[in-house]
Amino acid sequence: MLRICLTLTLLGGLAVPAGAQDRSRFGRSSTDWCNQVDSDRVAHCEVREMTISASNPIDVDAGRNGGISVRGWDRSDALVRARIVGYGNTDADARRATSNVRIETAGNVVRADGSSGDGDTSWYVSYEISVPRTAMLTLTANNGGIGIEDFHGTANFHTRNGGIVLRDVGGDIKGETTNGGVTLDVSGDHWDGAGLDVTTRNGGVKIWLPEHYSAELEVGTTHGRLNVAVPMTVQGTISRTLTTTLGSGGAKLRAITTNGGVSIQPR
């Protein structure tokens, strides 16, 4: 087998893309968060906050149509912010749908429970959760995205229809989405922890890497293009899969898609 050693710059320049500068809106005010609700139906929104212990693991299930955003912080407890949105034919119906929802946190299992509605009303809940940076997390969503930032603990996550955004993370991160893109924006000069393993079936993978970053990198796509805009040394045949050692190596970062492109850009 032919072995080659080269510097890749495929299908792209070295300018930092605008997306690398985007930051989350985590911690927005209740009013701003509720203003993000967009619907043709009559809606009522409220945000509830509760503090829970951070004993591991913390298990969050957003149910149908809700997303989950997690950020690490220096405190030893966890803050749960739940945005509850109720829908109805009238404002009174929407308010009633919202008021019937209960946020349960017993045993550090965060769930929403409430009336399933009468056909004219419905509801969903999204979460913003601040946790210790080395916590253990299990995150589940259905028709909603999952975001994790400033975190270096253990996280396992799954969403069926929603994107994944990981910023300034380390630790042991594993997860998947069925329909949604994956964004990884790392900082520092190496991955601090066991590694990363994320997959999507239908969605692109975008990775932003700092200069002089060290890790074992594996990315790939079955039906899509590979776009590498950072210098790196590669041995072997390059097609839709790229496996390489960045810098001095280290933890393995794996990000795979079936239907979608892969883009690696400088941070």
pLDDT in tens, 129-180: 999 999 999 999 999 999 999 999 999 999 999 999 999 999 999 999 999 9
Q: Provide φ and ψ at 31, rounded to 5°.
A: -65, -45
Token pair, residue 246, equals 């960045």
Hey, is 231 helix, strand or coil?
A: coil
Give the model confidence (pLDDT) of 130-144 as tens digits.
999 999 999 999 999
119: closest CA among 88, 76, 142, 149? 88
Tokens 């203003």: give the residue. 35
**Could you tell me which residue, 183 or 27, shows the higher pLDDT?**
183
Percent of the chain exceeding pLDDT 70 equals 88
- Return the pLDDT at 233: 75
Q: Specify the higher pLDDT residue, 225 or 236.
A: 225
Looking at residue 40, its pLDDT comes to 83
193: left (phi over 0), alpha (psi -120 to 50) or beta: left
The C-alpha atoms of residue 216 and residue 163 are separated, in whole angstroms, by 24
Token pair recorded at residue 212: 């002089």
Sequence spans of domains, the chain: 1-36+184-267, 47-162
pLDDT at 5: 35
Model pLDDT, residue 42:
94
Name the one residue in this structure whose structure tokens are 């994956």: 182
What are the φ and ψ backbone dihedral angles of 257, each rounded to 5 degrees?
-130, 150
Rounded CA separation 88/80 (Å): 26
What mean pLDDT do residues 229-253 have? 85
Pairing between strand 182-185 and 164-169? parallel
Q: What's the whole-model pTM score? A: 0.90
> Burial level of 32, CB count in 10 A (0-12/13-18/19+)?
exposed
